[in-house]
Amino acid sequence: MRFVNGSRSEGADLLDSLADALHDPMLVFDAGLRVLYANDAAFQLVARLHGATPAPLDVVGAWHPDLVSPAALAVAATEGEWVGEVSLPAMSEAHPIALRVQLVALRSAGEARYGFVARDVSADHARRDELSNRNAELKEAYRKLKGAQEQLIQSEKLASIGQLAAGVAHEINNPIGYVHSNLGTLADYSRHLLTLIGTYEEALRSPGPAATAEIAELRRRFDIDFVVDDLPALLSESREGIERVRKIVQDLKDFSRSDRGDGWVVADIHRGLDSTLNIVWNEIKYKGQIVKSFGDLPAIECLPSELNQVFMNILMNAAQAISDQGIITISTGSDGGHVWVAIGDDGEGIPETNLLRIFDPFFTTKPVGKGTGLGLAISYGIVAKHNGRIDVTSTPGQGSMFRIVLPVKQPAAPAAE
């Protein structure tokens, strides 16, 4: 304190009053921890700590044993100052009192003295605790929401598969049907061939014109020349049929798999498009033609089965937009760090007033039972999760084009909360 114009004796009185007016507790004590001075706020603090003012208050430890720790005192003694926080349990208060303390070494007529000034920071602490509680609650709510969204994606996917089930069954039934019938024919062929081999063996044992005639008769009856041509064809057709069933089953497995836990992988978008096409094929084949023009794409970092779900939703919408016969185009390409997939149709198109709403959950123009209005909302979420975007252009009466743009690489830690 500097005495600018005032006198030292008046200053002592005024400082005394000022110290009592302050909200911050102040104490002065000597090296033996004997309290020499204390302001009003210090007495109020001790009353809060103990529930009443204890007597005597002649040493610091009587105010509170933890008010000044030996370690803090040692620092103040050697370095001139110690600043830190102490937290003291208070009688009849729910929370401890948090104090931000400044402990300074003083000198008076050659004697060591210590000054203790504290600020009550309990309110700050309470606010900080409150904030961290709120933060924890928000995190928990976010986690639950994410779980619910994950579940919604999964159930939408399963619902679509349910919708598609009849078509998929049909797709599987077809090849199974002809493989089954081929097996019947192949069984006949092998029986005939075995009979013929038996007749050849007999002819070897007792050759003669009768045996030769019998062989010729059997070859004619079983039409062996035709069998020789037909048998490899039947086998390869059956193999193709089985291969097709295997592929559909594999695509279904890929498609229905939850990406949860599988994490991000580097995958080929074209493979996803092809297997999705396989699954929705039965739904769209009656709506006309699919025209594919695939560019050169790098494999991208993604959640493949979720992207397949996006392709499926957009392909199904395209097919549903075509009332009779039309063309669905699927083109892909890449530029630098991004790839794009454009799915277009020449169907009914989207009126401008609807363009802003098609990504809203439950927005649908389809009859009850036909559309839930979740397809594009979920697709939007999945693409956003991939740090990509979906652009739409449409002309009513002429058709629509959905263009999905995805980054090749995800920014660091893509799955981070």
Ligand X SMILES: Nc1ncnc2c1ncn2[C@@H]1O[C@H](COP(=O)(O)OP(=O)(O)OP(=O)(O)O)[C@@H](O)[C@H]1O
* Residue 374 binds ligand X (CB under 6 A): yes
* Residue 276 binds ligand X (CB under 6 A): no
| Residue whose Cβ sits closest to ligand X | 375
The residue (of 134 and 366) whose beta carbon lies closer to ligand X is 366
> Angle, nearest 10°, between helix axes 269-284 and 122-205?
70
Q: Which one of ligand X, Mg ion, none interacts with residue 42, CB within 5 to 8 A by kind?
A: none
Shortest separation between residue 343's beta carbon and ligand X, angstroms: 8
* Positions that interact with Mg ion (CB under 5 A): 317, 375
* Number of residues forming the site for ligand X (CB under 6 A): 23
Residue in 365, 391, 398, 415 binding ligand X, rule: CB under 6 A: 365
**What are residue 340's DSSP bridge partners?**
333, 405
Shortest separation between residue 160's beta carbon and Mg ion, angstroms: 9
Hey, what's the torsion of the CAs at 280, 282, 284, 290, to 10 degrees? Answer: 80
The residue (of 182 and 309) whose beta carbon lies closer to ligand X is 309
The residue (of 156 and 171) whose beta carbon lies closer to Mg ion is 156
* Residue 376 binds ligand X (CB under 6 A): yes
* Residue 348 binds ligand X (CB under 6 A): yes
Q: Compute the distance between CA of residue 416 and CA of residue 413 in angstroms, rounded to an integer.
A: 5
339 neighbors 297 (Cβ within 8 angstroms):
yes
* Residue 329 binds ligand X (CB under 6 A): no
The residue (of 122 and 163) whose beta carbon lies closer to Mg ion is 163
Q: Compute the distance between CA of residue 236 and CA of residue 414 in angstroms, rounded to an integer.
A: 45
Q: Which one of ligand X, Mg ion, none interacts with residue 348, CB within 5 to 8 A by kind?
A: ligand X
* Residue 322 binds ligand X (CB under 6 A): no
* Residue 350 binds ligand X (CB under 6 A): yes
* Residue 317 binds ligand X (CB under 6 A): yes
> What is the pairing mode between strands 338-345 and 97-108?
unpaired
User: How many CB atoms lie under 10 A from the CB of residue 269?
Assistant: 24
The residue (of 82 and 340) whose beta carbon lies closer to ligand X is 340
For residue 320, give the H/E element and its range: helix 304-321
* Residue 309 binds ligand X (CB under 6 A): no
Task: Supply the DSSP symbol for 365.
Answer: -
* Residue 347 binds ligand X (CB under 6 A): yes
Shortest separation between residue 290's beta carbon and Mg ion, angstroms: 18
Residue in 97, 318, 330, 342 binding ligand X, rule: CB under 6 A: 318
Taking contact as CB under 6 A, which single stretch among the options 197-205, 228-236, 331-339, 348-356 is the one that binds ligand X?
A: 348-356
Q: What is the DSSP annotation of 238-297?
A: HHHHHHHHHHHHHHHHHHHS--TTT--EEE-HHHHHHHHHHHHHHHHGGGEEEEEE----
Q: How many helices (H) and strands (E) does the chain have?
A: 11, 12
The residue (of 189 and 402) whose beta carbon lies closer to ligand X is 402
* Residue 372 binds ligand X (CB under 6 A): yes
402 neighbors 392 (Cβ within 8 angstroms):
yes
SS3 of residue 205 by DSSP = helix
**What sign for the dihedral angle of Cα 181, 183, 186, 190?**
negative
* Residue 162 binds ligand X (CB under 6 A): no
288-293, strands of its sheet edge to edge = 288-293, 326-335, 338-345, 399-407, 389-395
Residue in 25, 375, 382, 404 binding ligand X, rule: CB under 6 A: 375
The residue (of 67 and 376) whose beta carbon lies closer to Mg ion is 376
Largest CA distance in the chain: 152
Unique residue bearing structure tokens 């699927």: 330
Return residues touching ligand X (CB under 6 A).
313, 317-318, 321, 345, 347-350, 354, 358, 363-366, 371-377, 400
